[in-house]
Amino acid sequence: MTLAQRGRWVTATALVLLAGVYVRALAFTPIERFQGPAQKIFYVHVPAAWSAMLAMGLVGLASILYLLMKDARFDRFAAASAEVGTAFAMVMLTTGPIWARPIWGVWWTWDARLTLTLFLFFLFMGYLLLRGAVTDTSLRARYSAVLGICGLVLLPFIHLSVYLFRTLHPQPVVLKPSAPSLPGSMLATLLFSFGVFTLLYVGFVMQVYGLAAASESRGDG
Amino acid sequence: MIARKDVVLEFRSRTAFLSAAVFTALVLTVFNFGRDPTAVATVDLAPSILWVTFTFAAMLALNRAFQLELENQALDALLVAPISRTSLYWAKLIANAIFVGVVQCIGVPLFVLFFNVDIGSILVPLIGVIALATLGFVAVGTLFSAMVIRTRFAELMLPVLLLPFLIPPLIGAVQVTAALLGARPLSESVGWLRLLAAYDIVFLTLATLLFPVTVTE
């Protein structure tokens, strides 16, 4: 079985589990007292954001490893990760406004985290556009590695500079110094969803990577 | 030496330099008509006008930083010359900074003239913040412009890649400029100045390390 085929199985499993996330989110978690049913989108939005961030982190890491070892596999992985990350960033950027409209009363606001994720999306797009604009494979790998590393370094700066502006986003409810401030069933659903979205990421990356490797070995990559 | 060569070339040909200066003047003019003078006070808009203009001017300058070297394979000649890639980066950086700086030297008086803002009392800190932010622009811009020249749609690729990177210095510069124009004490802007300085240091280091990778054959 090729890597792309295995990736297809992982993705299929993750999609089935995603249906489980929906069931849990809709039927087995309480309605949040202040936000009402709109809060349910949280179980999709936050894990999608997690996957997008994970994707960018791994693009940066793979870029560093590529420059150190000049192994084409790292470059292929970074490319696959960026492509998949763009999809998750899209999910995050569409579910966010759907939630924000009833809760904040606006579709979009220039909050620190919102701006950060928007720029995460811009970086992914820039990365993919750059890859599309260079024909020489070794040159493409080096250029995109440079951009991947710079992008990873840029994100904290964007967050910090917009944070100094002002912030409105709900404060973290899981990863914070004190214990998570969520009821057990909500937390369980969220963590389950985190797992599912990570699995989805892995499945997608395996497919994209596998297909890229196959097309390269055929000599038209 | 390469920095000197570039600067000398720029001023000899004058075309690039003149077009950048005229472009800056035109953007400032566009801004004047792109606002409702009865609704918005100039001083509220002034920092944004100044910095959006400088951002575009820097972009224009950076777009052609390596274009020159592409003609007659001058870049290849530079690469075989016995100088390190790092010094090549710094030479290009200095040349770009001088180019953008001179354009800004024309832009600031025009800005004062067109928008009737008083900068006499804050001239020194204003120049400081312009220098700090411009260094950040040019540090990343020089690195990226070395990459995009060998891509398709280079003129479009540079802004797409570079603009996200200009956001942190831009935010900082606008905030400090607004504080200066509003005659607020400089101590209020310490956080922003630190951010600008940190950005410059981090990206200068990173670009110095990464530049050799982009020009190796």
DSSP for A161-180 reads HHHHH---SPPPSSSSSS--
Nearest CA in chain A to B173: A161
Query: Binning pLDDT at 50, 70 and 90, where does residue A221 land?
Result: very low
Checking if the pLDDT of B187 tops 80, the result is no
CA–CA min distance B113, chain A (Å): 30
Q: Is residue A136 part of a domain?
A: yes
B213 → closest Cβ in A129, A133, A142: A142
CA dist A5 and A211 (Å) reads 9
User: Measured between CB atoms, does B147 come within 8 Å of chain A?
Assistant: yes
Q: Say whether residue B160 is in contact with chain A using an 8 A CB cutoff.
A: yes
Cα separation, A188 vs A201, in Å, equals 20
- Out of B168, B191, B214, name the one closest to residue A146 (CB): B214
Is A183 a member of any domain?
no
**pTM score, two decimals?**
0.82
Spell out the alpha helix ranges (H) of chain A: 3-27, 42-69, 72-104, 112-133, 137-165, 184-217
Q: CB contact, 8 Å: B213 with chain A?
A: yes
The residue segments making up the domain with residue A156 are 3-28+38-166
A13-21 — which CB contacts under 8 Å span 24+ positions? A13/A199, A13/A203, A14/A196, A14/A197, A14/A199, A14/A200, A14/A202, A14/A203, A15/A200, A17/A192, A17/A195, A17/A196, A17/A199, A18/A196, A18/A200, A20/A192, A20/A196, A21/A189, A21/A192, A21/A193, A21/A196
Pick A133's closest partner by Cβ from B144, B157, B165. B157
Total CB pairs under 8 A between chain A and B? 81
Contact B191 A154 (CB under 8 A): no
Mean residue pLDDT across chain A: 82
Mean pLDDT lowest among A37-41, B52-56, B98-102, B195-199: A37-41
Residues 6+ apart with CB under 8 A from B162: B59, B62, B140, B141, B144
Length, in residues, of chain B: 217
| B158, B145 contact by CB (below 8 A) | yes
Closest CA to A145 of B62, B214, B201, B63: B214
Higher pLDDT, B181 or B200: B200
A201 falls within a domain = no
Distance separating alpha carbons of residues B117 and B28, to the nearest angstrom: 13
Mutate to test the interface with A, among B48, B89, B151 (most CBs of A within 10 A): B151
CA gap B16, B14 in Å, rounded: 6
> Residue A9 and residue B155: Cα distance in Å, rounded?
42
Does any CB of chain A come closer than 8 Å to the CB of residue B143?
yes
Domain count, chain B: 1
CB contact under 8 Å between B164 and A126, yes or no, is yes
- Which residues from A are below 8 Å from B when comparing CB atoms? 67, 119, 122-123, 125-126, 129-130, 133-136, 139, 142-143, 145-147, 149-151, 153-154, 157-158, 160-162, 164-165
- Residues A99-112 have pLDDT tens digits of 888 877 778 877 77
Are A194 and A44 contacting, i.e. CB atoms less than 8 angstroms apart? no
Structural domain tally of chain A?
Answer: 1
CA distance A170 to A106: 15
Q: Is B181:B48 a contact under the CB 8 Å cutoff? A: no
**Whether the predicted pLDDT of B40 surpasses 90:** no
Question: Which residue range is the domain that position B58 belongs to?
Answer: 2-215
Summarize pLDDT for A33-78 with one digit per residue, the tens.
Answer: 667 777 778 888 888 888 898 999 999 999 999 999 888 889 999 9
Decide if A188 is inside a domain: no
> Hey, what are B33's tokens?
């008509």
> What tokens does A128 get?
């993919």
pLDDT for A127 equals 92
Residue A32 pairs in a beta bridge with A36
Tell me if chain A has a CB within 8 Å of the CB of B210: yes
* Residue to test with chain A: of B79, B152, B210, most A Cβ within 10 A: B210
Inspect the interface and report whether the beta carbons of B164 and A123 lie closer than 8 Å.
Answer: yes
Contacts of B214 in chain A (CB under 8 A): 142-143, 146
Partners of residue A36 on adjacent β-strands: A32
pLDDT given at position B204: 92
Cross-chain Cβ contact A157/B168 below 8 Å: yes
- Please give the average per-residue pLDDT across B94-116, as a whole number: 86
Residue A76 falls inside a structural domain: yes
Cβ contacts of B143 on chain A, cutoff 8 Å: 146, 150
Tell which wins on pLDDT, A171 or A85.
A85
**Residue of B167, B205, B211, B215 to mutate, interface with A, max A Cβ within 10 Å:** B167
Taking residues B122-145, report their average pLDDT: 89
Contact: B143, A142; criterion CB under 8 Å: no
* Average pLDDT of the residues in B42-49: 80
Specify if A182 maps to a domain.
no
Please report the pLDDT score of residue B215 as a whole number. 79
For residue A102, tell me if it sits in a domain. Answer: yes
